[in-house]
């Protein structure tokens, strides 16, 4: 469930972001987003804990299917446009880019309270904890990928990224004022 973390009123954009979302059913280390069913993809709603990091890791199917429980009104699951607006509010361009590691630390870690919490692969294997942050949006890229925000310790910032719907990423809820 969402809890308020920070409000941004900059560059004509006002957003309130929740902390990273945790759910009781995610307090486990298993995860199965099972991307293959014969010759086609199918996706499971699943989640798992993310030890040492705030929030749990959710499959894209889980954030879509349980959006109202994970982000109860007035909260909602962010869209890709929310991530573009967040980047603009933090002084970025809204575009995928390489910036300085200091910009990421100052803005995404210290101001937005993000984390380099990594993600989990479809079998639950943790990946990039400590070096990359990944956050789901409700926006779809295509049948197998959902839109996401990611940033890393090298200064890469991608507010218009995408990741496999079978991966587990962190979720933060948003509300606009």
Q: Position of tokens 């940033």?
A: 151
Task: State the Cα–Cα distance between residues 176 and 144, nearest whole angstrom.
Answer: 28
Q: Give the pLDDT score at 41.
A: 61
Radius of gyration of the chain (CA): 15
- Tell me phi and psi for residue 132, to 5 degrees: -140, 145
Q: Six-digit token pair at 11?
A: 């560059």
* pTM for this predicted structure: 0.92
* Beta bridge partners of residue 127, listed in sequence order: 119
Give every CB contact of residue 166 below 8 A, 6+ residues apart in sequence.
33, 34, 35, 41, 43, 59, 60, 121, 122, 144
Q: Give the pLDDT score at 6.
A: 67
Q: How confident is the model at residue 33 (pLDDT cuts 50, 70, 90)?
A: confident
Going 55 to 61 to 64 to 65, the CA torsion angle's sign is: negative
pLDDT tens for residues 124-164?
999 999 999 999 999 999 988 999 999 999 999 999 999 99
């Amino acid at each position: 469930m969402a809890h308020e973390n920070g409000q941004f009123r900059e560059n004509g954009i006002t957003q309130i972001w929740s902390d990273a979302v945790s759910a009781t059913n995610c307090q486990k280390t298993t995860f199965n987003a099972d991307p293959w069913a014969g010759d086609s993809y199918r996706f499971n709603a699943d989640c798992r804990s993310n030890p040492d990091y705030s929030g749990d890791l959710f499959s894209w199917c889980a954030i879509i299917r349980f959006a109202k429980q994970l982000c109860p009104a007035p909260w909602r699951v962010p869209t890709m446009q929310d991530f573009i607006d967040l980047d603009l509010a933090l002084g970025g361009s809204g575009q995928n880019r390489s910036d300085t590691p200091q910009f990421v630390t100052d803005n995404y870690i210290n101001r937005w309270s993000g984390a380099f919490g990594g993600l989990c692969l479809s079998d639950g294997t943790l990946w990039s904890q400590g070096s990359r942050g990944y956050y789901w949006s409700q926006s779809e890229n295509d049948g197998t990928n959902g839109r996401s925000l990611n940033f890393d310790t090298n200064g890469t910032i991608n507010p218009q990224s995408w990741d496999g719907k079978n991966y587990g990423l962190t979720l933060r809820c948003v509300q606009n004022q």
